[in-house]
Each structure stands twice: as C-alpha cells, then as structure tokens.
Amino acid sequence: MNFFTAQEQARRRTKWLVLWFALATAGTVVSLYLITGLLIDWYAALRGDDIAVGHELSWWTAAIGSLVIPAGSAYKFMQLSQGGGVVARDLGARRVHPLTQDFSERQLLNVVEEMAIASGVPVPEVWIMDEELSINAFAAGTEPSNAVVGVSRGCLKKLTRAELQGVIAHEFSHILNGDMCMNMRLIGWVFGLLMIAMAGRGILSSLRHVRVRSSGDNKSGNGYLIIIVAGAVLWLVGSLGVFFARIIQAAVSRQREYLADASAVQFTRDPSGIAGALKKIARLPQQRVLSPHASEAAHLLFHGPVGFLFPGLLATHPPLIKRIHAIDPSWDGDLRKVGTEESSERALDGNALVAPFSSLDLCQAGALRQSMTKQGAVSTVAQAKALMFSLVAGDSKALVVQPVTALDAEEQAALDYWWLRSRGMNSAEKIAWMDLAIPTLRQMSPEEYRQFREDLQKWTMNDGQVSIFEWMLHHAINRHLLGAFERMDVVPVRWHDIAPVEDAVAVLLACLCQPSGQASAWSQCAQEYQQRFGRALPHAVADFQQLQESLWVLEQASPDLKNRLLDLCRWVTLLDGTQCNGEREILRATADAIGVMLPPTSVRG
C-alpha cells in the first residue's frame, strides 16, 4: 500500500463517518422524542391534563435536540480549526522549547526532526504530557501545517531511542496518510453527540443547590420533580448518544492503527523499535491517561484506554498482543524478555505503507540532520526570518550588505551568518532547513506574519525576476504558515479523470522541462503523456504565475490521479538521467501542493 491508497481510504472513511454521525444523531433524537413523549403522557394522565399539549412539547424537545447536536459539533470544529495545539492543551501537555537543555527532551526533538526530514513534512510542534507516566503519544492537527506531536513523560523515561523512534514514526504515519485530519473531525462529531448528556448532567448538578420550600401548594414540588425528570431523560438519552459516539470512534480507529504500525516499521526499518514499545505497554499495569479530555481523544493516542463495558466493541485500538504479532510474527509471547532484544534490521512486510517514490531513509535523514547541526541552529523568530531572507538573496552580497527591508541587530547578524553558509547548500539541504524553520516561524504574531510575507516578497522581487527556488519557497511559506495563522478549508476532490485538468498538467510539465535545457524534452514528454493517458498533451509555456494556479487545480484531483501525475513528473525530471536543483524544487513544490510530502533525501541527484 502507498500513501495515495491510504489517503483514498481515509477519504472514504470520512464519508462513512458523516453517514454514521447522521444515523447516530437521528437515533438520539428519535429516542429523545419517544422517551419524553411517554413520560409526558404518563404525567398528564395522572393529572388529567391535555395529552395533545404533551405531544407538542415532546416534538419541541426533539427539535431542540436535533439542533443542539450539530451546533455542538460546529462549535468544536471551529475550535479545532486552530490546529493540533488545541488538543495538546486539552490533554494537559506543554510545548517543548527548541532550546531545551534537558537530555530526554533534546533527544525527542532530534527524533522528530529526523523523521520530518525523512518524510518531507515541516517539523511539527512537539509537546509533552508531564503528568502522564504511562507510555503514550498522539498526533493532532487539521493538516501538516498545524500538526503537533505529543508524547507522555512515560515515553521519555521508559523507552529507548529506537523505541521512541518507532512511536514517533507511528504518529507521523497518521499525519502523512490522512488519518490525522479524519481523527480531528471525529473529535468534533463525538463532541456533538455528547452535548445532550452534558445538558442533562448540567441540569441534575444544578439542582444540588436548589432548595424546595415546603408549603400546602404542590406546584413547587411538582416543578422540581419535572426538572429532575427532564435532566434524567436528557442524561439517559444522551448516554445512548455517547454509546453511539464511542462505537463510531472505535470502528473508525482500529484498522488504521494496524496500518500506522506497519508504516512505522517501513519508516524505521527496525520492527523491534515499535514492537518493543508495545511490549513494554503490555507488560506494565494498565495506566489511564489522567486528562478529563482523554476519552474524546482516545482514538488519537498511541495506546487507547480499555473500557470495562463492551471492551471489544468500544476499544479504539486493537489488542496489544495482536498488534505485536502483526509486527513480529515470531514473538513467543513472553513479556519477561522485554528490553533484552537487540535492534536488528529485518525483512519488511510487503504490505507496509511506502512512500510514493522511495522508502523513507532515516539513516540518510539522520546524517543530513547531523551535518545541519554542525552549521548552526534556528531557535528564534529573528533567526528563522533571516534564514529565509538569505535563501532568497541568492548570490547577491550587495543585498545582504544593504537589505531591502529594515532589520534589527539580531536579524542582521543572523542574515550575515546564514548567507555565507547557504552558498554551498544543495537543494535538499535548503529544503530541509526550510522545513526546520517552519515551527519557529509559527511563533510569530499575526501582525508579524503579515509583515514577514510582505518583506519576503520584497527580497524575492529585488532583482526583478523570480527564480525556481524563490517561487518554491514562497509556495511553501504560503502553504505551511497559512494554516497556522488563518483558517484553511478542506480541499474537496473534484477531478477523477485527466481531461478536466490537462491544461494545468501541461503548464506543470512545461515548467519541469525548462530547467533541463533539452530541446527535445517537451516532445518526449508529450509522447509519454500520450502513452500513459491516451490523449494529446495541450501546448503550454513555462510560467510560474500560471503554475501556481495549475497546482491549485491539481490539488483537487483524486488520490489515484495525483499518484499517476506525480509519477509522470518524476519521469520528466529524470529524462537526462539526473535531477538538477530546479527540477527537484519544482517536483517538491508539486508534491507539496497536491498533498504529498516528498522527502528531500528522495529527490537528491
């Protein structure tokens, strides 16, 4: 299975999720109407009142319930649109400072950065749940640009580096294959179904502070009884909605965990890492996540809590033993050996999740990260902005001496430093530095962000023309920072066939043919297009402004069509047998634009 297949599966599951939510909402509302109607009829019969009025009241109760559930989900969706940090804070986590001197936190940051470089994902924010001593982790966010990865304190204390790497690889797979976005939506749906029960519990809780006056008139007592019954009904019916929500939550989550485990093995090439982490969880006594929001985010966790009622039906994760055997079929089931196995590179499961073009190579990413560490660090917003300015400055020493925008002392010093070091960087290194700087740039205020975009535009247009790298950098900034500062709607799938998008494809291929300088590149490309799609390739010229618009069109293509197009783009860049920097940069921006993270290490010449 590849990432495109995984994303297509996630998209289909999201459609089923909407249907399940609609059915659960309908079931909850119908139950609310029936139970309310029965109780009102019973009460009206005792008092000899008009039953028709009771029926009208039950209709109104059901109508209000049908509005409360989607309203609750809409509220939660709006809250979650801010990104994964919302979930991290709800789970009691704190963000790890990039300059932390704590050894275990530093190791965690290194592992996350290596995984980001290997997968082509901008480095997500890293959070730690300090109060959680069990082994657990999560990935949250509506898209890679606002994703966060969180781990429990128990992960840092009880796991080896290889095991921690396996857990982080598992979470990265959720980011890459579309699970993370689906899981965030699931939180919103579940919250909506919780609203009825929450309302009932709120009514019953408020009655603890109400005192009923004793008098000959029973109106006060009857009113008090009606409120109790109403609260009990809401809580009872709402609990049914909660039950539906938990079933949906478990059904959506379980199979994706097997896929994430398999992809973690593919990423790390070491089954013993993630298997060792799972064995340690199985060996330790069951420990629950302490956060009160743990139940609504259970499907996000590396290891979900096991309930006492209907554990097989409501469990958000497969049994630990089955997960371990899926990774390590030769395991004898003896947990006493946990921690004694040596890490080894074994044959990988042919069904494991693989990248579009090549397996993720953590060794190569680790080597690149170590060489980057020797060059310096980007730990402040000023340094991150200066790094971006130096990358678009190119070879212009005059631009560094006399900047086109006002810089403070820290920014000027950082610009001088990074301009010198960026001269010898190849495309892969520049892309990796860009990805590492994204989390720091997310710390800007909205006003700083707007000013930074204006300043970067001035630096880019200083010489009156835009290079391929400058265009790619702008594209990445727009895509990976926009989601952190502004709301980005989910892009719908509109195109399943090549015909509606072939003009956009032609512009993309023209831009890819330009850096090679081969006169015959376009004609060869047209022949390959005809052979693959059975259609003539429309004529187009290389134009970056049109390319930006073309990528927006292609972003709305189906995963299968994206897979075929990206494979064609890869073929074009290798027409002359090698990839130049310009070809790598356009290929990276293309993959990025259509929702595929392309590792810098997989596009090196």
Q: What percent of the chain has pLDDT over 70?
A: 79
Angle at which helix 468-485 crosses helix 446-460, to 10 degrees, equals 170
CA–CA dist 449, 457 (Å, integer):
12
pTM summary value? 0.77
**pLDDT the model gives residue 160:** 93
Evaluate whether 553 touches 506 at the Cβ level (below 8 Å). Answer: no
Q: Most distant CA pair in the chain: distance in Å? A: 101
CA–CA dist 183, 122 (Å, integer):
20
What average pLDDT does the chain have? Answer: 78
Cα dist from 378 to 115, 206, 441, whole Å: 18, 52, 10
- Three-state DSSP at 555 gives coil
3-state SS, 579-592, equals CCHHHHHHHHHHHH
Residue 254 vs residue 143, higher pLDDT: 143
Residues designated as active site: 171
In the numeric block, which tokens belong to residue 361? Answer: 């190579």
CA–CA dist 503, 547 (Å, integer):
11
Q: Indicate the pLDDT class of residue 492, thresholds 50, 70 and 90.
A: confident
Which of 55-64, 326-335, 478-487, 495-504 has the largest mean confidence? 495-504
Tell me: pLDDT of 605 over 50. no
Which of 315-329, 356-370, 406-420, 572-586 has the largest mean confidence? 406-420
**pLDDT the model gives residue 341:** 46
**Nearest of 25, 116, 19, 88 to residue 600 by alpha carbon:** 116
Q: What percent of the chain has pLDDT over 90?
A: 16
**pLDDT the model gives residue 355:** 45
Tell me: pLDDT of 290 over 90. no
Q: Indicate the pLDDT class of residue 486, thresholds 50, 70 and 90.
A: confident
141-145, 214-218, 496-500, 525-529: range with lowest mean pLDDT: 214-218
**pLDDT the model gives residue 499:** 92
CA–CA dist 395, 423 (Å, integer):
7
Tell me: pLDDT of 356 over 50. no
Q: Indicate the pLDDT class of residue 152, thresholds 50, 70 and 90.
A: very high
Query: What do you get for the CA distance between the two ends of the chain, in Å?
Result: 26
**What mean pLDDT is predicted for residues 348-376?**
62
Residue 586 vs residue 183, higher pLDDT: 183
Tell me: pLDDT of 218 over 70. no
CA–CA dist 147, 262 (Å, integer):
21
Label residues 425-449 b or e (16+ Cβ within 10 Å = b): bebbbbbbbbbbbbbbbbebeeeeb
Which of 166-175, 283-292, 471-480 has the largest mean confidence? 166-175
pLDDT digits (tens, 9 = 90+) for 382-424: 999 999 888 888 777 777 788 888 888 999 999 889 888 888 7
Tell me: pLDDT of 431 over 90. no
Identity of the residue numbered 549: E
**pLDDT the model gives residue 369:** 81
**pLDDT the model gives residue 12:** 67
Cα dist from 167 to 195, 296, 361, 495, whole Å: 33, 21, 16, 35
Evaluate whether 118 touches 364 at the Cβ level (below 8 Å). Answer: yes
264-268, 368-372, 426-430, 514-518: range with lowest mean pLDDT: 514-518
Q: Indicate the pLDDT class of residue 358, thresholds 50, 70 and 90.
A: very low
- Three-state DSSP at 394 gives coil
**pLDDT the model gives residue 434:** 84
